[in-house]
Amino acid sequence: MKLIRVVFLVVLFSSYGLIAETEKKVMDLQTCDYPALYNFGDSNSDTGGMAAAFFPMIAPCGDTYFHRPAGRGSDGRLIIDFIAEHLGLPLLSPYLDSVGTNFHHGANFATGGATIRRQNESWFRLVTASDRNRLPRPQDFSKALYTFDIGQNDLAAGFRTMSMKKLRATIPDIINQFSIQIRDLYSKGARTFWIHNTGPIGCLPVATIKVQNPKPGYLDEHGCIRGQNHRAREFNKKLKHSVHHLRAELSEAAITYVDMYRGKYDLIRNAKEQGFEDPFKICCGFHGIGFDVWCGNKATVKDIEVYAGSCAKPSAVISWDGVHYSEAANSWIASQIVNGSLSDPPIPITRACHRKN
């Protein structure tokens, strides 16, 4: 028994030594000087693309930070906003709101509802071809940081229209299409990629609130829809595998895979410990069986007219509108990912330009 204990301690201290050595090597790396930030994604990182192209956001969206609707599906800043601030860069302007906008420090190509598949052309290709006078110099493209937060809508659409078996069969093609886009950007000079996996879709309150009398095992121990989260984890596993292949293929690329799923799920399961209320509470909106009144809208529910306004304390709520996170939640999640603790390789975003050997 003593021998086992000694061996365990030797392994434990060796592990601590390796971790400390790895952390020292990371901190010894020079801080990256990103002249620009380019983001690709869906509504989780859309800073106004959908609002500019189709319909504007309405109050109370934006109330917490911007004090007005600012094109974001939240009461304030998104994770991509906190990333930009962490890097000392301006908040990203959406490419689709390009009139009079200066893109010298980057651009945001994210739009609400965007998917990986069914995308025939990259917005980045268009902006590099037609707006050079408002973008960084071409030689700066290789020094910029390229962030990605997309995939949730591909899975969500599958949940609505496919069997789990059929959705599972589509995941390899979704990942393949994503890899094609990374290769395309690489061919145009992109070198530093920061890729978020998809979050725990089965924990979105807009879905869980519609579950009535679930069968045993349908929900997990924290109240999330088990099957949807299982598909999300399967998607993430294949995405991570694809990232490893891309690293080997793209010899000059520095590609960081970020476990957004873990960050969001940790917040949901530890909500009260982190100062939040019920993780399934929706701050802005009314949803239930047979009805959805989205944030800022009015509707008649059970013969009563209701207005979906903001809750009294958005900073205590994780979900802003049932799908998107509040500024407080986005801030918490961003603080967990920028330091590299949820990344492969485990490197902070400020040093992500360094390729892993």
Active site residue ranges: 43, 321, 324
Q: Radius of gyration over alpha carbons of the chain, in Å?
A: 21
Containing H/E element for 39? strand 37-41
Residues 6+ positions from 306 with CB-CB distance below 8 Å? 286, 293, 298, 299, 300
- β-pairing verdict for 37-41 and 106-108: parallel
* 145: β partners: 37, 192
Q: For the chain, first and last CA: distance in Å? A: 40
The 3-state DSSP class for residue 67 equals coil
Characterize 272-294 residue by residue with b for buried, 16 or more Cβ atoms within 10 angstroms of its Cβ, and e for exposed.
eeeebeebbbbbbbbbeeeebbb
Residue (of 51, 82, 133, 94) closest to 331 by Cα position:
82
- Letter for the amino acid at 50? M
Q: Are 289 and 280 in contact (CB under 8 A)?
A: no
Backbone angles phi, psi at 65, to 5 degrees: -110, -50
- For 261, which DSSP code? H
Closest CA to 37 of 101, 86, 105: 105
